[in-house]
Amino acid sequence: MDFTKTILDENEFPKRWYNILPDLPEQLAPPLHPLTKEPLGPKDLQPLFPLEIIKQEVSTERFIDIPAAVLDIYRLWRPTPLYRARRLEAALKTPAKIFYKWEGVSPPGSHKPNTAVAQAYYNMKEGVERLTTETGAGQWGSALSFACNLFSLECMVYMVRASYEQKPYRKMMIEVWGGRIVPSPSTQTKAGRATLERDPKTPGSLGIAISEAVEDAMTHENTKYSLGSVLNHVLLHQTIIGLEVKKQFEKIGLYPDSIYCCVGGGSNFGGFTFPFLKDKLNGTKAELEVIACEPEACPSITRGLFAYDFGDTAKLAPIVKMYTLGHGFIPSPIHAGGLRYHGASPIISLLAKKKVISTQTFHQNATFQAATLFAQTEGFIVAPESAHAVRAVIDEALRCKRTGEEKIIVFNNSGHGNFDLAAYEAFFTQKLVDYSYPEQLVRKAMRDLPEV
């Protein structure tokens, strides 16, 4: 058996999500109210989220049942395959065994619907009629539009302007599923208008787009807000990925030595790694290496401060303790729009602070070079976000070539790059800029951290 592709059947399909909260090395610092700076209670979150989501956000249950209606939609593309990247290994002449999980088979083309479907379902159950959200590269916005459509909810997407202009097909995809979309900052919200006044040419950022979506939800009837990353419940829903991968490795009698995932807010990283980190945290797999791959242009965990900060630019979202480059930081317009976030999930931040996980950073050209080699060996064209993990894995496999290590490496191939082909072309024609971390700007943004 050569394990080119490991699939799971209906009986092996996970029916529960894994909640890492009870297994963390210490309790998370409580999220604070953006105005009062007091610890948030469930009531403070009710204008934004349905009750079931608020319960999941703080649940200490280790496993949470996936509702049947959600499983039924997951089945459209799940369980997703786990591949052994034999052609990539051969091209690198590495003794390492490289595996990847392929989340690009979902209708919107990434892992994002894993939580979008769950969130749309819980909102529908509680009578919500309209959801607002932000999106970076458009993966999340199209996933929520897809999910809302299946549960007959309206969907309003604020898409970061830099990506809106780079990826016109994402907008059209959102519209095919009936969603509405505007570039952010927009003139539809106070937060958007204020930003446009300060800088009419701003490329936008996830921080600004979040402000707009939150403001929209708070000022419209029967409308709630949906976040595609960062928060505990989002990462919880994404653990379906890692739970499947664990079963797939069990099936072929292996366990990974190193796991690589890109991290923006952290939903794909958390979803893939938490079920494995469970084993590392309880000591059964203490040697497991887990690496978060960040862009040089926005290295939130690698270079940020571990501090309380706002989740968004306009200070409407909760204050959470996380690695942050400052809520005022607007990252350079790299093509990996999903990684352009000033902070990172509080859980992942805590795990990094405790050195349970480590980080690496990469420039755009290096990631597209890796993604091109991947496309030319494994066939699949990956998203610019996932390309960060591909780069890290190739570097590690080349190191193994020098040392002779037969290490088992796995990464999450979190989405396809069909709508990012203009970025590949920019790479081929040497038009990609290797934006660095603008330390001065960030220091300025850091001075703005809330006093708590």
Residue ranges binding a second copy (CB under 8 A): 1, 4-5, 7, 9-10, 72-73, 75-76, 83, 87, 105, 107, 109, 146, 149-150, 169, 172-173, 175-178, 372, 375-376, 378-381, 418-419, 421-422, 424-425, 428
We find the least distance from the C-beta atom of residue 1 to a second copy, in angstroms, to be: 8
Nearer to a second copy, 103 or 309 (CB): 103
Q: How far is CA 98 from CA 273, 406, 408, in A?
A: 16, 10, 6
Cα separation of 279 and 222, whole Å? 41
We find the least distance from the C-beta atom of residue 173 to a second copy, in angstroms, to be: 6
**What residue ranges in 22-116 does DSSP mark as E strands?**
63-65, 82-84, 97-102
The enclosing H or E element of 54 equals helix 51-58
Look at phi and psi of residue 92 and say left if phi exceeds 0, alpha if psi is from -120 to 50, else beta: alpha
We find the least distance from the C-beta atom of residue 421 to a second copy, in angstroms, to be: 4
Nearer to a second copy, 116 or 348 (CB): 116
Nearer to a second copy, 243 or 381 (CB): 381
We find the least distance from the C-beta atom of residue 39 to a second copy, in angstroms, to be: 40
Cα separation of 359 and 436, whole Å? 16
Tokens 């990996």, residue?
Answer: 336
Look at phi and psi of residue 101 and say left if phi exceeds 0, alpha if psi is from -120 to 50, else beta: beta
Nearer to a second copy, 146 or 225 (CB): 146
Report whether 95 contacts 401 (CB < 8 A): yes
Nearer to a second copy, 80 or 345 (CB): 80
We find the least distance from the C-beta atom of residue 373 to a second copy, in angstroms, to be: 11
- φ and ψ at residue 290, rounded to 5 degrees: -130, 120
Nearer to a second copy, 5 or 443 (CB): 5
Cα separation of 141 and 143, whole Å? 5
Report whether 382 contacts 110 (CB < 8 A): no
Nearer to a second copy, 343 or 415 (CB): 415
We find the least distance from the C-beta atom of residue 420 to a second copy, in angstroms, to be: 9
We find the least distance from the C-beta atom of residue 89 to a second copy, in angstroms, to be: 14
The end-to-end CA distance of the chain, in Å, is: 57
Nearer to a second copy, 179 or 346 (CB): 179
We find the least distance from the C-beta atom of residue 11 to a second copy, in angstroms, to be: 11
Tokens 């003139």, residue?
Answer: 187
